[in-house]
Chain A
Amino acid sequence: MKEILVLAEHRRGELRDVTFEMLTKGRELSQKINADLTVVLLGHNVKEFAKRLADHTKRVLIVDDPRLKNFNSEAYQRVLSHLIPERKPSLTLIGHTTFGVDLAPRLAAELNVPLATDCIDLDFEGEKLVVFRQVYGGKVNVKASLRKSDSYIVTLRPAAFEVQEVKPLGGEIVEIPSPLTEDITYKKFIEFFEPPAGEVDIAAAGIIIAVGRGIKDLDNMPVVKKLAEALGGVLACSRPIVDKGWLPSDRQVGTSGKTVKPKLYIAVGISGASQHVSGMKNADLIIAINKDPKAPIFRTADYGVVEDLFKIVPTLTNRILEEKTSK
Chain B
Amino acid sequence: MDLIVCVKHVPEMAEAEIVVDESGKRIRMEDLVFAINEWDDYALEEAVLLKERLGGSVTVVTVGSEDADDTLRKCLARGADRAIRLTDKAFEGSDAYAIAKILHKAIKDLPFDMILTGAQAGDDGYAQVGVVLAELLGIPHATMVKKIEFKEGFAKVNRELEGGLEEVVEVKLPAVLAIQTGINEPRYVSILGIRKAREKEIKVLGLRDLGLKEEEVGESGSWITVEKMFIPPIEKEAEILTGGLDEIAAKVVETLRARGLV
Interface residues, chain A, with chain B CB atoms under 8 Å away: 11, 70, 72-74, 96-98, 101-102, 104-106, 108-110, 114-118, 130-131, 133-147, 158, 185-195, 207, 213, 231, 239-240, 242-245, 249-250, 252, 255-259, 263-264, 271, 284-288, 291-294, 296, 298-307, 311-312, 315-316, 318-320, 323-324
Determine whether B47 belongs to the interface, using a CB cutoff of 8 Å to chain A: no
Q: How distant is the Cα of A6 from the Cα of B169 in the complex, in angstroms?
A: 25
By the criterion CB–CB under 8 Å, are A146 and B223 in contact? yes
Q: How far is the CB of A167 from chain B (nearest CB, A)?
A: 29
By the criterion CB–CB under 8 Å, are B170 and A263 in contact? no
User: Given the complex, which residues of B lie within 8 Å of A249, measured CB to CB?
Assistant: 164
Q: How distant is the Cα of A311 from the Cα of B243 in the complex, in angstroms?
A: 13
Interface residues, chain B, with chain A CB atoms under 8 Å away: 11, 13-18, 20, 27, 42, 96-97, 100, 119-120, 122-128, 131-132, 134-136, 139-144, 156, 158-172, 181-182, 185, 222-241, 245-246, 248-250, 252-253, 255-257, 259, 261-262
By the criterion CB–CB under 8 Å, are A243 and B168 in contact? no
Given contacts A106-B135, A140-B229, contact A193 B224 (CB under 8 A): no
By the criterion CB–CB under 8 Å, are A139 and B231 in contact? yes
By the criterion CB–CB under 8 Å, are B238 and A145 in contact? no
By the criterion CB–CB under 8 Å, are A304 and B131 in contact? no
Q: How far is the CB of A314 from chain B (nearest CB, A)?
A: 9
By the criterion CB–CB under 8 Å, are A141 and B163 in contact? no
User: Given the complex, which residues of A lie within 8 Å of B27, measured CB to CB?
Assistant: 136, 140
**Shortest Cβ-Cβ A-B pairs, 8 listed:** A304-B238, A243-B182, A105-B131, A186-B140, A114-B223, A137-B13, A301-B238, A105-B128
Q: How far is the CB of A276 from chain B (nearest CB, A)?
A: 13
Given contacts A117-B128, A141-B231, A264-B256, contact A305 B225 (CB under 8 A): no
In the complex, which of the residues B120, B156, B158, B163 contacts A259, with contact meaning CB atoms closer than 8 Å?
Answer: B163
Given contacts A102-B131, A256-B163, contact A141 B142 (CB under 8 A): no
By the criterion CB–CB under 8 Å, are B234 and A106 in contact? no
Given contacts A106-B141, A320-B253, contact A258 B163 (CB under 8 A): yes
User: Given the complex, which residues of B lie within 8 Å of A258, measured CB to CB?
Assistant: 163-164
Residue of A at shortest CB range from B220? A147
User: Given the complex, which residues of A lie within 8 Å of B125, measured CB to CB?
Assistant: 118, 133-135
By the criterion CB–CB under 8 Å, are A193 and B223 in contact? no
By the criterion CB–CB under 8 Å, are A11 and B224 in contact? no
In the complex, which of the residues A116, A143, A186, A242 contacts B172, with contact meaning CB atoms closer than 8 Å?
Answer: A186
Cross-chain pairs A/B with CB under 8 angstroms, 15 sampled: A98-B144, A101-B127, A108-B132, A134-B125, A141-B229, A141-B233, A144-B227, A185-B172, A192-B166, A193-B168, A243-B182, A252-B164, A256-B162, A271-B14, A316-B253
User: Given the complex, which residues of A lie within 8 Å of B143, measured CB to CB?
Assistant: 98, 101-102
User: Given the complex, which residues of A lie within 8 Å of B225, measured CB to CB?
Assistant: 144-147
